[in-house]
Structure 1
Amino acid sequence: MERRSFIKASLALAAYCGVPAMASLFVRSAQAADNIADGSASAFDFSTLKTMAANLAGQPFGGPPAELPKTLAELTPQAYNDIQYDANHSLWHDVPGRQLDVHLFHVGMGFKRRVRMYSVDPQAHMAKEIHFRPELFNYHNAGVDTAQLQGRDNLGFAGFKVNKAPELTRRDVVSFLGASYFRAVDDTYQYGLSARGLAIDTFTDQREEFPDFVAFWFDKPQPTDTTFTLYALLDSPSATGAYRFVIHCEAERVVMDIEKHIHARTAIKQLGVTPITSMFSCGTNERRTCDTIHPQIHDSDRLAMWRGNGEWVCRPLNNPQKLQFNEYLDENPKGFGLLQLDHDFDNYQDVIGWYNKRPSLWVEPVGDWGKGSVNLLEIPTTGETLDNIVCFWQPAEPIQAGQDLSFSYRLYWSGEPPVSSPLSRVKATRTGMGGFPEGWAPGEHYPATWARRFAIDFVGGEIKAAAPQGIEPVITPSRGKIDNIEILFVEPMDGYRVLFDWTPDSDSVDPVELRMFLRTRGSVLSETWLYQYFPPPPDKRKYVDDRQMS
């Protein structure tokens, strides 16, 4: 539960890991420039950054962040939000006809990490630092005593956001803020789930570690570019890293090509590559916390995997009553991600969160990643204010101190993933009372054995064409009995619903693993549906009639 304490204390994004002593790694000069990059020029390219990260790994970790000035440390969330970057000082303000621009986030409140920012001339391979000064921001009603900030050019920044034309001063499409968190949007301009640069010990017997991006370098783009290159230095007690992001701000989505080189300072029990953080409170399958006006509340509804052996898997997300961690073993995965595939407003009725607009995030590995697992952590939550879902790739072998690792991959932030199975896919998963025929209910004149009913909807692929030959659900439970199987064509969704009951064979309340796919005459028709069900205790396995007739 350290994750929830961390996220709550830092408003879901701030970092509490230490900052390195990096005075020897950067050049500082009082020399001014016409643009906001006022530092002296020094040579920089990706090889320079990789050397920097490797050298930093050989130095002791610098410890926690230094204290902020009181006027910043005591900011309320509302006051912090009142601080806005001055668009007249944007990073690429001097690029005529620019399609992209960068605004910087102020340090303060829970955002204690002093992140350093650099502007890079990619033709000359030279970088200049951007030093903090109050005139870069509009403080509005934040109540900040700017006198406490004068001469504090070492404050740095908390992060940045990237705006895209035509709304260069109003709408951002990419944001990096807190620890190594970052997000992007599709053409709905609605942020949702987050990615991170690295996760360490997310689910072990040790406290989770949240590495920080401690410096960023921005290649200056050409006026018509909608793609930009960003470099980042990562640091934490256990690891350092050099990152290159090539970020494509397309019309309908954002695509990130990422190359990273990690150096382990210490042995790491669990290294999370490509970590994704999301929220699932309730949906079509999990109704326990949906006692609200909203039919569903979630940033993502499923973990999707395209395994190295070619199998497509749909694992609906849960909001369990106790923390759950699952490993899905694989070798050289083709892709995976947390998806939000239901974009119908009627299914959410939310005019604040706009969950129907939230993007999916798909990870496409570049090259062979070898053996490992796609890991899924599901944390109990009572609402929608805390991220409670984490997904990441974990290499099979533990990481040793001094070990170097490299990964390349592509992230797609979009309503739909960039690839999809030619097979029939899961549209929705529903659960409810079982043990009686569909259209009836248990009661005084119809005694029933307690069971849980599942209804899984499949659409697309060749399922309709295969129907005359017969559709066979292949259902495998880890324990218990499957019966009352039905297959129905549902005209409104132009697909098929598979219904079945799961009946317990013991009093155990341990999770039940369910697995199903559809086939016809030996040929696979659908992706594989995986589900984790939590049976109630024996005294709760009964139909409760709460009617009051007088």
Structure 2
Amino acid sequence: MSALALLGAFFPVTVLAAFSFDDVAEKARALAAKPYQAPAAIPKFMQTLSYDDYQNIRFNPDKSLWSESNSRFQVMMVPPGLFYRHAVKMNVIDAQGSHTVPFRKTDFDFADPEVAKRVPANLGYAGFKLTYPLKGEKERNQFMVFAGASYFRGVGRDNTFGISARGLAIDTGLSRGEEFPSFVEFWLERPSPDAHAMTFYGLLDGESAAGAYEFTVYPGKTTRLKVKSRLFPRADIELLGVAPLTSMFYYGENTGRPTGEWRAQVHDSDGLQLLNGNSGEWTWRPLLNPRELEMDYLMTDNVRGFGLLQRDNQFSDYQDLQARYELRPSSWVLTEGDWGPGQVVLTQLPTTNETNDNIVAFWRPQEKVQAGQTLDYSYEVQFGESNLGGNPMGKVMNTFVGDGNVVGGGNAPGAYRVLVDFGGGLLDKQRPRSPILSNVTSLDGGEVLEHFVEYNEALKSWRLSILARPAAKKSLSLRAFLSNGDETLTETWAYRLPANNDIRTAQ
């Protein structure tokens, strides 16, 4: 008996027909050589469904792909409608080759018979959800969703859904308007029933670029999605966003609280973490909900990682039994290879509620992106707890900002009092009486009036207190870290508060 046959006697073996990333790349190359053609739209009535009517179209989990073999990985289909304006082609790769997954209306339960009657028999699917026994062998837990343009969401074992990632971002935040390329076709490799990883491919198309993607996902306490991408611009692109992350920040500890809100904070992420390549510097940028669009371009040289994290992960930070923001996942992009010089771009848009994603972070290359190029990027997108990235430094725990001309804040008109709590990492090795130094720098013409650091017994951490005044009509821009002699102990806190803000009532 052969080794393969012997293995198959004990474990089901799936021998896949030949299909690879290069096959998808050739399709993307061919698309980019032609004028862009938008995907066919679904019927108008499906686009105008109410949120409740759309939610009442439910896929039957018993109809999941590979459920008949009791596979650890199974696939639930997402119906088009509401936000999902076009169908995507779904394929399965198995030992017999690549096969299209036909749309079956009977795989869905419709609460409203009038809606069911009007749904065409060839509607198609908007995307898919992956399930896996994250919390028990008899469970089928949803852990990843691909649906809508190039968006996908993932969770670790102990998370609820929150932050999103995308295949590509183009011209995000620019006045000309953002472009949203879409995945138009997927190929799912059928895994063996006992597999712990799954591979699938995506074909992306948009007005300015087409692209090929290979995804290999490893669900767990931290869910890891390895990504290999090849992009083919069909037009020059001013602002290319590689490995974009999209999140929500309504308000937090470093902002004002909207009138009438009883919750202390409301956000899916509270900061941007960045690891620069050559310098090895870890940076933390607290997020905000600006009154006007804010674009920050953080210079990098061979960026090694960046992400939007949810560091406030205690129920007491929110007191919200429904949203459970403390369970929202953090997401970290771990780059592979040398990406060269570029910028991590942080786009923050104003929002008046928590239903709108208003935060986008991505990497952009320094070189201009021109039509006819071929761009390759490999990276890993991680979803899980707030320690993603493996930052060994002392970390920012809290950022509080107030008026610097009130009792408890100071006696300096036009200034702000800023408190930053650092803890964990290298700081845990320091004694409360260690000679910790605060290193504070003001940018954009601002002035640091005072700064000092003291041990905070209540939190077992170190509190940096800063009194700083921005230049007239300029943002308050500060950078700070803690050290002991020549040893840097913390990440760099990089803060920017726009001149038009909600901290002081009189500006």
Q: TM-score, normalised by structure 2?
A: 0.90
C-alpha distance 334-448 of structure 1, shift in aligned 2 (>3 A): closer
Q: 1:416 aligns with which of 382, 386, 390?
A: 386
Q: What is the SS of the residue equivalent to 1:222?
A: coil
Contact residue 208 and residue 235 of structure 2 kept, 8 A: yes
User: What amino acid is aligned across from residue 98 of structure 2 in structure 1?
Assistant: A
Aligned to 1:269: 238
Give 5+ residue unaligned stretches, structure 2.
1-15
Q: Which of 497, 520, 523 pairs up with 2:487? A: 523
Counterpart CA distance in 2 for 1:70 and 1:296 is 38
RMSD: 2.3
- 1:480 partnered with 2:450: no
Give the distance between the partners of 2:45 and 2:469, measured in 1 at CA.
Answer: 60
Tell me the CA shift for residue 517 of structure 1: 1.1
Preserved CA contact (<8 Å) 1:450 1:542: no
Tell me, which stretches of 5 or more residues in structure 1 are unaligned? 1-40, 544-550
Instruction: Report the Cα distance in structure 2 between the residues aligned to 1:264 and 1:142, rounded to whole angstroms.
Output: 44
Q: Assess if the C-alpha contact under 8 Å between 1:82 and 1:142 holds in 2.
A: no
Q: Secondary structure, in 3 states, of the residue corresponding to 1:118?
A: strand
Q: In the superposition, relative to structure 1, how do residues 473 and 111 fare at CA in structure 2: closer, same or farther (>3 Å)?
A: same
Is 2:421 the partner of 1:457?
A: yes
Match of 1:398 among 368, 374, 379: 368
Q: Residue 159 of structure 2 contacts residue 384 of structure 2 at CA under 8 Å; is this kept in 1? A: no
Deviation per CA, 1:403-425, whole angstroms, max 9, x where unpaired? Answer: 11010001110012333333211
Match of 1:257 in 2: 226
Which digits, 9 at most, give the CA deviation of each residue in 1:148-177, with x for residues without a partner?
Answer: 513x2xx32111101122588864110011
Partner of 1:99: 72
Alignment correspondent of 2:31: 56
Match of 1:425 among 392, 395, 415: 395
The corresponding residue for 1:510 is: 474
Q: Following the alignment from structure 2 to structure 1, what is the Cα–Cα distance between the partners of residues 48 and 424? A: 54
* CA positional deviation for 1:88: 2.8
Deviation at 1:502, TM superposition (A): 1.1
Amino acid corresponding to residue 79 of structure 2 in structure 1? H
Is the alpha carbon distance of 1:542 and 1:194 closer, same or farther for their aligned partners in structure 2, counting shifts above 3 Å?
A: closer
Structure 2: which amino acid aligns with 1:461? G
Residues 131 and 140 in structure 2, CA contact (< 8 A), matched pair in contact too: yes
Letter in 2 for 1:59: K
Q: Distance in 1 between matches of 2:43 and 2:404?
A: 60
Report how far residue 84 of structure 1 moved. 1.1
Q: Is 1:470 paired with 2:435?
A: yes
Task: Report the equivalent of 1:164.
Answer: 132
Distance verdict in 2 for CA 1:147–1:496, change over 3 Å: closer
Cα pair 2:417 2:468 within 8 Å, conserved: yes
Distance 1:206 1:132 in 2: 37
- Structure 1 residues 173 and 92, CA gap change in structure 2 (3 angstroms): same
CA 1:62 to 1:329, structure 2 compared with 1: closer, same or farther past 3 Å?
A: same
Q: Deviations over 1:114-162 (max 9, x none)?
A: 10000111x55x1100121311211123631436513x2xx32111101
Which residue in 1 is equivalent to 2:263? 294
1:8 aligns with none
What residue number does 1:356 align with? 326
CA distance in 2, matches of 1:148, 1:181: 24
AA in 1 matched with 2:448: I
Q: In structure 1, how many angstroms separate the alpha carbons of the residues matched to 2:215 and 2:403?
A: 48
Q: In percent, how many aligned pairs have the same letter? A: 36
CA 1:205–1:320 in structure 2 vs 1: closer, same or farther (change >3 Å)?
closer
**Letter aligned with residue 487 of structure 1:** V
Going from structure 1 to structure 2, the CA distance change for 1:324 and 1:148 (only over 3 Å counts) comes to closer
**Residue 87 of structure 1: CA displacement?**
2.3
One-letter amino acid of the structure 2 residue matched with residue 197 of structure 1: G
* 1:44 aligned residue (19, 37, 58): 19
Select 1:130's aligned residue among 101, 119, 134: 101
| CA pair 67-409 structure 1, distance change in 2 beyond 3 A | closer
Q: Check the 8 A contact 1:319/1:380 in 2, yes or no.
A: yes
Are residues 437 and 139 of structure 1, via their aligned partners in 2, closer, same or farther at CA, if it must alter by over 3 Å?
Answer: closer
4+ residue runs over 6 A deviation? 167-170, 540-543
Return the offset for 1:43.
Answer: 6.2
When residues 49 and 413 of structure 1 are mapped into structure 2, their CA distance, relative to the original with a 3 A threshold, is same
Structure 1 CA distance for aligned equivalents of residues 335 and 191 of structure 2:
26
Name the stretch that deviates more: 194-203 or 79-88.
79-88
Higher mean C-alpha displacement, 308-317 vs 198-207: 198-207
Whether the aligned pair in 1 keeps the contact of 2:469 and 2:476 (CA below 8 Å) is no
Q: Secondary structure at the match of 1:94?
A: helix
Question: 2:210: which partner in 1?
Answer: 240
- Measured in 2, the distance between the counterparts of 1:536 and 1:222 equals 56
Per-residue deviation at 1:42? 9.0
The 3 A distance-change label for structure 1 pair 333 and 144 is same
Go from structure 1 to structure 2 and tell me whether the alpha carbon gap of 1:248 and 1:42 turns closer, same or farther (over 3 Å shift). closer
Contact 1:171 1:189 in 2 (8 A): no
Counterpart secondary structure, 2:430: helix
**Aligned partners of 2:330 and 2:388 also within 8 Å:** no
Quote the Cα distance in structure 2 between the aligned partners of 1:86 and 1:462. 50
Q: Which residue of 2 aligns with 1:38?
A: none
The Cα of 1:59 is off from its aligned counterpart by 1.4
Count the aligned residue pairs: 485
The separation in 2 between residues aligned to 1:216 and 1:223, in whole angstroms, is: 20
Distance apart, 1:492 and its partner CA: 2.5
Task: Classify the secondary structure of the residue corresponding to 2:106.
Answer: helix
User: Equivalent residue of 1:143, what SS?
Assistant: helix
Matches for 1:174-213 after TM superposition, within 5 Å: 174-213=144-183
Instruction: State the SS of the aligned residue for 1:363.
Output: strand
Counterparts of 1:256 and 1:85, CA distance in 2:
25
TM-score normalised to structure 1 length: 0.83
Q: Within the alignment, does 1:489 sit opposite 2:463 as a pair?
A: no
SS at match of 1:80: helix
The C-alpha deviation readout for 1:488-520, integer Å capped at 9, x for no partner, is: 21122211101121134x5x2221211111122
Work out whether 1:119 is the aligned partner of 2:92. yes
How many Å apart are 1:75 and its aligned residue?
Answer: 1.9
The residue type equivalent to 2:488 in the other structure is V
Pair 1:59–1:167, CA change in 2 (3 A): farther
Cα distance in 1 between the residues matched to 2:478 and 2:322: 35
Change (3 A) 1:541 1:472: farther
332-341 vs 286-295, greater mean Cα deviation: 286-295
What is the identity, as a one-letter code, of the residue corresponding to 2:437? E
